């Protein structure tokens, strides 16, 4: 009898979740969904650990169709690896091998999900706020350093960061003027990677400026005596 391959509710969703978006093949980094011209396209096929149909390489007679199409007997493979497993080299992959792939991939996925258990909305908000405050502290420190080399950019960025912080904590989006000014500030800062070496050299050269200025002042005073 031909297997109808009807999967129970939530089976494919569960596999997608446990796969963490990747093919179950151990060393494969292919995403199970790809975007083509902005459209999501499935990049996976549902593979059976124990064959779906009689005559398949890993067919187990005693199983029924519900068991064959159940979550524990399935994994997701990118199209290329599914062909290798079931068409090109079917004798190279045993039930035990595929089960080990499933266990390894889903162990990581389960750990990720366990990290979300007990996460209330308030706790999530606290985590987001803490992360933003940490970012702002880091940015304020960088801004203080930037002020020593580019006061215009620093003066423009500081109120923008405050505006973004206010928007963040009042759960609203920054207005168009703020985002426009942020873009302007980003443009002003584009020169920094290229000019950082020059700025450092200039700073080094200017280290002796106070002494040179003092010497020049003394020379002017002496010159005035003969005028």
What pLDDT score does 219 carry?
A: 62
Q: What does pTM read for this prediction?
A: 0.49
What is Dmax (Cα atoms) for the chain?
118
More confident position, 60 or 8:
60
Question: Looking at the predicted structure, is the pLDDT value of residue 20 above 90?
Answer: no
Q: Say whether 36 sits in a helix, a strand or coil.
A: strand
Chain-wide mean pLDDT for the chain?
Answer: 74
* Mean pLDDT value across residues 143-162: 71
- Given a contact cutoff of 8 angstroms between Cβ atoms, the answer to whether 167 and 174 are in contact is yes
Question: Looking at the predicted structure, is the pLDDT value of residue 54 above 60?
Answer: yes
Percent of the chain with pLDDT over 70: 51
Question: Looking at the predicted structure, is the pLDDT value of residue 170 above 50?
Answer: no
**Burial track 55-75 (b if 16+ CB lie within 10 A, e otherwise):** eebbeeeeeeeeebbebebbb
Cβ contacts of 20 within 8 Å, gap of 6 or more: 105, 108, 109, 112
Percent of the chain with pLDDT over 90: 29
Cβ contacts of 113 within 8 Å, gap of 6 or more: 17
pLDDT-based confidence at residue 127 (cuts at 50, 70, 90): low
């Amino acid at each position: 009898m031909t297997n109808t391959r009807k999967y129970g509710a939530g089976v494919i969703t569960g596999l997608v979740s446990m796969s963490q978006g990747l093919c179950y093949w151990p060393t494969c980094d292919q995403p199970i969904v790809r975007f083509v011209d902005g459209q999501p396209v499935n990049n996976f096929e549902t593979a059976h650990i124990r064959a779906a149909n009689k005559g398949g390489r890993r067919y187990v007679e005693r199983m029924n169709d519900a068991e064959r199409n159940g979550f524990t007997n399935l994994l997701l493979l990118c199209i290329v690896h599914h062909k290798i497993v079931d068409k090109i080299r079917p004798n190279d992959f045993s039930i035990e091998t595929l089960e080990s792939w499933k266990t390894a991939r889903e162990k990581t996925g389960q750990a990720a999900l366990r990290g979300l258990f007990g996460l209330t909305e308030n706790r999530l908000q606290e985590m987001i706020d803490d992360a933003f405050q940490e970012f702002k502290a880091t940015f304020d420190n960088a801004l203080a350093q930037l002020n020593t080399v580019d006061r215009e950019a620093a003066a423009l960025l500081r109120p923008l960061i405050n505006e973004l912080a206010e928007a963040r904590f009042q759960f609203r989006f920054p207005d168009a003027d703020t985002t426009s000014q942020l873009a302007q500030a980003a443009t002003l800062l584009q020169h920094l990677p290229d000019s950082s070496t020059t700025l450092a050299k200039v700073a080094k050269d200017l280290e002796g400026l106070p002494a040179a200025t003092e010497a020049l002042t003394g020379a002017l005073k002496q010159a005035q005596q003969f005028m």
